[in-house]
Structure formats: C-alpha cells, structure tokens
A and B are shown apart, each in its own frame.
Chain A
Amino acid sequence: MEYKKYNCNSYNIHTIKTDKFKTVRMEIIFSREVAKEEMPIFTFLSDILTDSGKNYKSRRDIAIKLEELYKATFYGTSSKVGNLFTASFILEFIAPNYINEEGYLEEVLKFPFEVINNPRVKNKEFDLTNFNIIKKRVLEEIDSIIENSDRLALIKSLEKMDNNSPSSFKVLGSREDINNITPSSLYDAYLELLNHSNCDIYIIGNINMEEAVNIIKTNFKNRVIKLKNISLKVNNKVRRKAQIVVEKSTFVQSTLVMIYNINNLAEEYKDSAFHVFNYLLCSGGISSKLYQYLRCDNALCYAVRSLYLKYDGLFIIEVSLDQKNVKLAQNLIKKSIKEMIKAQFSSELVEDAKKNLIISLQMSSDNNVSILNNYIFHTFSNLPLIDERIKALKKVEKKDIMACGKSLVLNTVYIQEAGEIDARN
C-alpha cells in the first residue's frame, strides 16, 4: 500500500494506492470545529447536495447517472467526533481495469465535483421543491429517534450529563433548528461550508493516482481559505457525586446507561491500553466481565454495549433489561469496574485480549473503508497507523489496564424506565 499526500493549497488530497480491492472509494471531507447552531444546516446541506444539482433536477437523475457509471454510489453524510464536525461526500465505483471503458475514470471522478460545485440554486436560494423534500426527510429522521430505545436513552443521557457539552450536541439538531432553515440561509451555509472549512480528499483503490489528482485539481478549485488546525478534544466536566436520572418511556424493556468520565489518563494509554480494558470489561463479548455477570450468571439481558468516546473523554455502558433488574445490573457494572481496578483478571486473559485486538486490526486491513477511516484519523488527530497500533497493543501490561479503570469517574446514571404494558390496539 502506497500512501501519498498532495497539497493543493486550499485542500489536500491523500491517496492510498492498492490493488487489493475491486472498488475505488473517494471521500471528500469538509471539516470544522463543532458549533451547535451550525451542524443542523450543514447536515441538511450534505443531504441536498447529493439529492439534486444544476444538471440533476432530483435524486432520480442522479441515480440514473450513477447506474450509467456502472452502479457507482454517491451520498452525503455528516458526523461529529469529539469537537470535530465533518460533512462528507462519498463516492464508490468499480476499478476501471474491470470494465475497459475509455474515459471512465475521468467521468466518474468529476461527477461528485460537478454536483457539489453546481447546486440547484436560483437567485441565491436552493430550489424549493428539493428543499422541502430534504426538510421533510430530516424532520422525520429527528422524530424517528423515539423508535429506538437504545439510541433514545443514549441521546437523553448525554443531554442530562451536560447539555452544553459538544458531546451532547446532535448533528441533526432539533425540529426547531430545521424549521428555521430557509432556501436562502441554506445557500449562505453552502458558501460557508465550501469556502471557509478545511477540506481533505481521500482516495483508496487501484487507479493511477497521479491521473486522479489531476482530474480532481481540474474539477475542484477556486477555494481560497487557509487550512486550520482543529483539536478534537472535548473537556467534559467531572462531577463530585454522580447524578441519577430516571425517566418514563413507552418501551417494553428498561434501558440503563452509565456515563463515566475518563479523567487524567495518560495519552499513551488512549489508543492501546484502554482498548484492552474495554475488551476485558465488555467489548470482548461473551468472555468479558460484564457479559459474564449480567448475561451468563444472572440472565439479565441479551447484550451489554460499551462505547469508548476517546476524544470526548467518556466511557459509556448501556444495557436493556427488565425494570426489576436495573439495580442489580448497576451493582454488577460497578463491581466489574472495581475488579478491573484491582486487576482481578488473569495475565492469560490480558494476552488473549491483546491478541484478539491485534487480529481485529490485521483483519481491518482487508477492508478499504477501515483502512481509509484509520488514515483519516491519522491525518486529523495523529491516530497511529495500523502497524503502529499493533506495536503499542503488544506492550500493554496489567498496570496500564488498571490505570484505565482508575481513570473512570461516574458522572451520570440514566434509567429509561419501561412503560406499562398497555393495550395499544
């Protein structure tokens, strides 16, 4: 695999040349610091920009073009990692050597730029029909949060933790945020995103990268900004005493969420030891402590989930279960963490966990999306490349895992209580 970076003044192109995949993937990523009021409109924008264009009056026209390009895929998405917001435009297409069509690479690579550079805009306003379609879709997506008990509990627990923290901000925003967007304000946001955000373009696959870079340079220019350094880190406050929040729901199961701050943990542990800690505690599945205590020994639940938000400095445990078992689950989670701090796990388990994590990393190099994601965070936040991460994992010792456990400070216990079993119909 050959990694290269091309500085194109107002943006960078990062290429990974490999003949391992039949697919070529390109991600055009605009990035900014998280700002609560900005994210909803940029999310709206990433959707509308891939749903229509000056030469494509609706998604249908785009879909036909993509089918003509041998079923290429193209979509927009937005996300938030720590204090970094990204609006991304993703294109995947078949490597040209499989189809032997002259000019295919140029045609497929210039397509996303044609769409992004030429939105369906008149008099500095987005087309109203396209606007209304996306507005309805985004509003429905916001509303649909109530359909998923785990997602709802997670969102609410973070808001209860601190609704001023970027960790609790939603990229979709609220109904009110979306209702405040107009076709004209959306166009202003378009200019802002394109002209005043960092931009990085990543490509992985088996193509002539020099040719690809030239095609991109020809089709994407006129940006004038200087790229900024953005820190991904969020400083979430630690509570002296954890808060307990209980809310009623209409779900059959209750959901328990426990949010911990990761406090004063040395940087060197964050990409290695903490993953081993999490693996032994929960993410290792049936063999982990939480699965053992909650599922195998006490049959309290089907699954336990843990979420390690490195850049937010948070560690979250979530479990769906019967209301009567919530207290017992809380106690078992606390007991498990205490045992991790006291190193009540064998050295053999540590070695197995390290081995398993290393194997997962090795396997991730068989997937173009995983390779690209790792590389994206390597460029954004110096996340070590896969080989370096493997080396760091090999060095993890029991004391490092204990340090990870010790860094946890319980912040919020959120309980989404099951509703009455009602006669709905």
Chain B
Amino acid sequence: MQEINLKGLNETIYYDKCPNGLKIYMWVKKDINTFYGTLSVKYGSIFNEFKIGNKEYKMPKGIAHFLEHVKFNEDKDVTAHDYFFKKGSDTNAFTTFNYTNYQVLGSIDAKDNIIHLLDFVQNGYFTKEIVNNEKGIITEEAKMGEDDPYTVMLFKHLDNLFNEYEYKYLITGTPKDIKAITLNDIKKVYETFYHPENMFLVVTGNFNPYELDEAIRENQEKKQFNTYLNPERIMKKESKKVRVENEEYKINVSNKKIKIGIKIAKKNLKNYDDLHIRLYTNLLLRANFGATSDFKDELLMKELISNLSFMSDLFDDYLLIMFTIDSDYKNEILNMFNEKLNNLKMDEKTFERMKKANIASLILEYEDVEVVNNIIQTEVLNYGDVIDNIKEIYENITYGDIKKFINELDLSNRSILILNPLD
C-alpha cells in the first residue's frame, strides 16, 4: 500500500490496487465515530451505446440508473438494505452521467460494512420479477423529475446546447424508456461494466487502513471475475455549434428565468489540461459574475435581476458555461451579458484575494468524511488519480496565466433559453 502525502495540506491518502484491478483510496480521521465507503462504477447514463471489440450494443436510455436500483437485490427476498439495517448503517446510491456510486455510512464495524458493500455490488443477482417490479418505482421517480422545474430546465438547456451527446437525456430515462428495459439488457450491462477494473473504492473516516486493505484484498482474491472486456463507449460526433440558439419555453416556474449557455470546443484550449481549464474558468466566473463582482452588484442595484448563478464543467470535448438569471428584463439582460461576455476581466487585487480564499477552502475541505470522499471520487473520475499537489497548483497560478486564458476564450457560441411561467 502506498501513502500519498497531500503536499501543504498535512493530509495522507492511502492507496492500493488489487490484482483484479480494483483501486482503493482511504483517508483516515481518528477523532470521529463515522466512516463512509463508496464504490464507484465507471458506468453512467451516457454509456447507452458501447462496443466490445467490433460488436456494437445499444441499450435503452436510463439503464445505468435502473441497474443501480435493482443492484440492491442480493437473493430472493434479500436486499442489501437488510444487511445494513442490521449493522446500523445507511446505504444509498446515485447515478450520474459518468458513473454509478454505491455508498455506506456508519459508525461501527467499518470493515464488515465495506466488505458487504463490495459483496452486494459484485453479486449479479437479477430476475424478471425484480426488474418488472422496479419499473413502477422508477417511473414514479422519473415523474418526480418531471414535476421539478429545475430538472426540466437543466435538461431542456442541455438538449439545446448539444446535438448528439447523450448528456441531453434524463439520467432516469423517460417512463417510455424505463418500460423498454429488459432483464437481458440489465445482465449484459452488468457483465460488461461491473468489473473491478472499472471500479474504485473510497473509504473515509475512522478505521485502520492497513486492516481494511488486507480484508479487501482477501475478499477480492476469493471472487472470480471474467476477463475484463474493455468496453468502449461509442461517442457520437458532436458538432461545434449549439443545437438551438434561442428558445422560449413555458414551465412551472413562478418567475421568468433566463438561461445563457456557452459551448466552447476544448480543442481551442489546447494549451491547458482539464484541471487548469476548470480552475481558470471557475476563478474567472467568480470574479466577473460572483457575489464579489461589480457586474452582479450593478444588476442587483439596478433591480434588473433578483438572482444570478452559474456553473461550468467539461463534457467530453466541450467546456460548458451555464448562467441562470431570474429577471423580467430579457432584452436589457441579454444586452448587458453580451457586453460583459465580450469584455471579461479580472484585476490583480481580486485575483490575489480569491487565490488566498481558495487556499483556505482547501484546508477546510479535509474535515468532513463525505466531503473528502467526494473530492477523491471527483479527482479519480476526472483526472484518473488523486492530485497530491493541488495547493501547490493553486499557489502557482499567476495573474498573467488568467489574463492569457481570458484572451483565448471564445464565448460566442451561445444558446439562450427563456423560461416563462405557465399561464
């Protein structure tokens, strides 16, 4: 086992890799009662089409999320919940675009709980009856999403930004997609993707990492897995332009909302790795549109908006920036945003203040078992491993770097979505 020292943060991550390919990351905090284990499978809602060798497969949308639900069944009338209930632990799971995550949170018998987390996820028990019964439950979950205007508007906007990418579709699938899923589909996906090579385990909290590592290795050695088939996601070619530039839509919101989405091809930012694209974009957005920006302040003080939020992330070959603005003044807002987006700026004083604040945040992050677990998951998913010098990376960013990045950002490829309340 390797001890990874997070430079400047005085924190250690214990890392090991089992012979079957399962990666293990552990972070220990001695003075607490809690432990939190997550097993991530790199299979999410965008993997509906994949190939093994030359053979291509197309699955119904929503299948990753469906599999997450039925995976809790371990045998006839036995579910993982039964075990964890007895142990006094909480178990849950979620599915995103990129991965499926199974969790256990508890305070006693960390080792037994983590081993059972591995056991139930690595147990391919599925029946027709289980699949059919779960359809009703998942359909109700999907309908809850239809009743949530924020879910609807996010996916409506993604649909307008992307032409082909699977990110535009609901993670749960629609009730029609859910109905189409079969037992065979579930088995195929499980056999293909639920392999230790395609999983990683993160455990945070109070436990002995050496004992746990030994127990995990022993558990994995006892299990037989077929050879990993190296499935490959079929990525559709996404054209550079947004699919819809302007649209007005009625939805169950109380006040008008304006969404501005910007799609930037990553190949236009080839001087930067993914980590720096994320860091620079975040700093720039905060400086220009965040709580400390004069632009947001002006919009608020002129009573043109009541709220302004933003997010940005990488979606395969594209960087997306998405703004949500609560405002009745569509034309003024679109003009002012246009002007602002064409003139992004950041002064040195703001840069230094934000950098200092970000470094303080890094120190605070290593406190809560769930927060730390999520940080590790995100780093492993986005960058393949934990980043041991993140503080150093922040410290090394210069004002000149940010100025250069601003000059290289082309923010002209936009999709505007206006959301009006129902009549």
Contacts and interface: CB of A to CB of B under 8 A. Distances in A.
Interface of A: 20-23, 58-60, 63-64, 67-68, 70-71, 94, 98-99, 129, 132-133, 136-137, 140, 143-149, 250-253, 284-287, 295-296, 299-302, 320-322, 352, 355-356, 358-359, 362-363, 365-367, 424-425
Interface stretch (B137-145, B182-190, B400-408): B137-145
Given A133-B301, A284-B85, A356-B85, A362 B107 contact: yes
Contacts of A365: 33
B230 interface: no
Contact of A425 (B134, B249, B303, B356): B249
A301 B146 CA distance: 14
Nearest to A63: B291
A359 B150 CA distance: 35
B135 interface: yes
A147 B253 contact: yes
B136 to A, nearest CB: 3
A136 B303 contact: yes
A296 B307 CA distance: 41
11 contacts: A63-B291, A71-B360, A133-B300, A140-B307, A286-B81, A299-B140, A302-B137, A302-B140, A362-B107, A363-B107, A366-B34
A22 B364 contact: yes
A287 B86 CA distance: 10
B354 A300 contact: no
B292 interface: yes
B44 interface: no
B144 A60 contact: no
Contacts of B364: 22-23, 71, 94
A58 B353 CA distance: 19
B140 A300 contact: yes
Contact of B292 (A64, A137, A253, A355): A64
Contacts, number: 151
B252 A146 contact: yes
Contact of B291 (A22, A60, A99, A253): A60
B106 interface: yes
A399 to B, nearest CB: 23
A22 B363 contact: yes
Nearest to B86: A352
Interface of B: 31-34, 79, 81-82, 85-86, 88-90, 105-108, 133-138, 140-141, 143-144, 146-150, 249-255, 290-294, 296-297, 300-301, 303, 306-307, 326, 353-354, 356-358, 360-361, 363-364, 366-369, 422
Given A251-B147, A366-B33, A425-B250, A59 B291 contact: yes
Given A299-B136, A425-B250, A253 B143 contact: yes
A71 B361 contact: yes
A60 B294 contact: yes
Nearest to A366: B32
Contact of A286 (B79, B133, B144, B354): B79
Contact of A355 (B88, B147, B149): B88
Contacts of B300: 58-59, 133
A147 B146 CA distance: 11
A363 B85 CA distance: 16
A112 B155 CA distance: 40
A366 B82 CA distance: 25
B371 to A, nearest CB: 11
Contact of B252 (A21, A70, A147, A366): A147
A91 to B, nearest CB: 14
A67 B357 CA distance: 6
Contacts of B293: 60
Question: Which of A71, A352, A355 neighbours the largest number of chain B CB atoms within 10 Å of its CB?
Answer: A71
A94 B360 contact: yes
Contacts of B294: 60
Nearest to A20: B31
A356 B292 CA distance: 44
Given A143-B255, A147-B149, A250-B422, A362 B140 contact: no
B85 A147 contact: no
A352 B82 CA distance: 11
A76 to B, nearest CB: 15
